[in-house]
Chain A
Amino acid sequence: MRGSQARKNWLGVVLATGALVFAISIYSVGFSSPAAARTLTTDELGNIAQNCASIRQSLSQLQHSDSRTRVYLGAAYEAAYSNFITPLNVRLVKNGREDAAFVTLQNDFSIAQAKFRNSYTTYMRSLETVINTDCQANPQAFYDRLEATRLDREALRQASVKLADLLKTQIQSVEKLEKELK
């Protein structure tokens, strides 16, 4: 009987894991599939092919400046998390003043940081694919990939906006806490 119950438990775990993996793959496919890019006119295709070298150079420069921006943002987020958000939560707990809102914010911030990092690598990978596409020979394919990269860049922008919002919430919450203290 016990063996049968254990098998059922294991089956449940396996099924739950399978469902989770399936859900994650559907979720990720939903976000990674590029939107259908518009079909370019002959003039536009010709323009891309003609200016291919300068377009690719602009994209390479953008890649470098984005890399710099990521370092600045990443360092600031990490400083906020490690030097402010986490120590305050630890101190609140040590003083017996656990606050669910602060704990939730810490978790949300950590998740948002991970999302920012993942979105950045996805975007950079996508941008690299665009740069490596021969826009002289395949301007339409180049444009299709560029459209997909725009979506990845937007996801990255949203991730940075989310972190900025969380930081603002943290400031407001601490200001409120400060007022509550005598």
Chain B
Amino acid sequence: MTGRRNLLILGGGAILAAVLTTGIELWVYRSSGDIYLDRSRPGYLPDSDEAAKEEPRPNAGYKYSDSGALDKAELKEYVEKLKEIEAYLKKIGQPFAAGPLSDETLGLKAPEAKETDK
């Protein structure tokens, strides 16, 4: 009888501890903002064709060496490679511009208001 009771206490305690620690983890995950940076959460996984559509990332294998004498040719290459990143960023356009949240884009204006605006 005592053995069964102890087993139940152990099982219940383990479940309680698991629920508690998972709850704390989820709270930290959400409150730290990591949840918004995580694209592996359900609904945010990259589309299957996203990799194909994506612009190739610039200079995936390039890293300027932090040792050696300063060399003019190397600095020239550095500038060229860094300009590729700059061009890549420009291709993204105007990130987080106001447009997509405007009244017009979201269709928030009443038909009468739209006509008055014209």
Report A's interface with B, CB cutoff 8 A. Answer: 41, 43-44, 46-48, 51, 54-55, 58-59, 62, 64, 66-73, 75-76, 79-80, 82-84, 86-88, 90-92, 94-95, 97, 117-118, 120-125, 143, 146, 149-150, 153-154, 156-157, 160, 164, 167-168, 170-171, 174-175, 177-178, 181-182
Contact = CB atoms under 8 A, between A and B. Distances in A.
A64 B44 contact: yes
A167 B85 contact: yes
Contacts, number: 155
B20 interface: no
A118 B34 CA distance: 10
Nearest to A61: B100
Contacts of A150: 98, 101
14 contacts: A43-B112, A54-B107, A55-B108, A70-B37, A73-B89, A73-B92, A84-B81, A94-B66, A118-B33, A120-B37, A157-B96, A157-B97, A175-B79, A178-B79
Contacts of B54: 72
Contacts of A122: 33
A59 B100 CA distance: 9
A178 B85 contact: no
B64 A87 contact: yes
Interface residues of B, number: 52
B70, B76, B81, B94 interface centre (most CB from chain A within 10 Å)? B70
B94 A157 contact: yes
B12 to A, nearest CB: 34
Given A79-B85, A168-B86, A178-B72, A125 B33 contact: yes
